[in-house]
Amino acid sequence: MFSQAHIHVTCENHIAYLKVNRPEKHNALDNDDIDALLSACAFIEAAPEIRIVVLSGTGGKVFCSGGDILAWSKLSALDFGRHWLRRSHMAFDALARLRQPLIAVLNGHAFGGGLELAATADLRLMENHARIGFPEPGLGVIPGWSGTQRAVRRFGAANIKRMALFGETMDAPTALAAGIVDEVLPQGTGLERAKELAEKVSTKAPVAIEAVKMLINMAEDEESGRAAEALAGVCVGYTEDLQEGIQAFRNKRPAVFHGR
């Protein structure tokens, strides 16, 4: 169990349920929530029993409305760029690079940072009453939580241009046809479907699932450097040479390696 600011994590049968719980503010994220997302990711990463994560918003109307305008509008231009955007990128990168697969349940509207939050997931389920879009230019700002980067890689530049440049919002069938979401479901059934999918994944070999996710992330340039080193480190970790090197260090003698 994890609870900090408006971010809550509960665990059940190898599944972690990560929720943004701020319905009175349309699940908008403030500075404390960004820090909480980072802490939640650290909690999830460190829990060996967690094999898959389901992300959702509470309230049923809005998945996440993005950054809390009252929080970021008070910042100076330098603080906005140096701290608000950089810290948020760290949190969203941590979500996208979780070792466990991540399912986002868009059980309400996802605008701006909410859609960028959904972009961190490996699979997106969208309930049929929800809409998505990037309204930031109408406020004089940009989609700054990787809306012009990760979202472009995962959703395609043409779709992002439709929303960010031309102000289009998409309903669930349009988002499905555009490849932005993977399934459209009746209102109120997204979490049930996510649990069904998560239970299937949780029965598969967790190390193989983790490796496949990292390889796919490498293919789409999500985390090439870290993933390559992590996978190589695992391979080296199984070698007799590693054990020989450790024993030699402990016994203060030269190591004798055999390439196996």
Dump pLDDT digits (tens) for 36-45.
999 999 999 9
Which of 15-19, 136-140, 210-214 reaches the highest mean pLDDT? 15-19
pLDDT at 255 exceeding the cut of 90: no
Query: In whole angstroms, how far apart are CA 142 and each of 61, 163, 187?
Result: 24, 12, 30
Rounded distance between C-alpha atoms, residue 71 and residue 5, angstroms: 14
pLDDT at 164 exceeding the cut of 80: yes
Give me the percent of the chain exceeding a pLDDT of 90. 70
Beta bridge partners of 195: none
pLDDT in the model for residue 233: 75
Helices (H), the chain: 31-45, 69-72, 77-79, 86-96, 113-119, 150-155, 157-164, 172-177, 190-202, 206-219, 224-237, 240-251
Q: Confirm if 18 and 40 have CB atoms less than 8 A apart.
A: yes
Q: What is the SS3 string spanning 86-118?
A: HHHHHHHHHHHCCCCCEEEEECCEEECHHHHHH
Beta bridge partners of 4: 7
Summarize pLDDT for 118-142 with one digit per residue, the tens: 999 999 999 999 999 999 888 888 8
pLDDT at 245 exceeding the cut of 80: no
pTM summary value = 0.90
Catalytic sites, residue numbers: 116, 136
Rounded distance between C-alpha atoms, residue 73 and residue 76, angstroms: 8
H-run or E-run covering 55: strand 52-57
For 171-201, letters b (16+ CB in 10 Å) and e give ebebbbebebbbebbeeeebbebbbebbeeb
pLDDT in the model for residue 28: 96
Helices (H), 4-61: 31-45
pLDDT in the model for residue 20: 98
Q: Which of 10-24, 169-183, 227-241 has the lowest mean pLDDT?
A: 227-241
Across the range 4-33, mean pLDDT stands at: 96
pLDDT at 185 exceeding the cut of 90: yes
Mean pLDDT value across the chain: 92
Residue of higher predicted confidence among 34 and 81: 34
Give me the percent of the chain exceeding a pLDDT of 70. 98
- 3-state class of 56 per DSSP? strand
Record: fold of 2-202: 2-enoyl-CoA Hydratase; Chain A, domain 1 (3.90.226)
Exposed (0-12), middle (13-18) or buried (19+): which is 229, by Cβ within 10 Å?
exposed
Rounded distance between C-alpha atoms, residue 56 and residue 146, angstroms: 19
pLDDT at 159 exceeding the cut of 80: yes
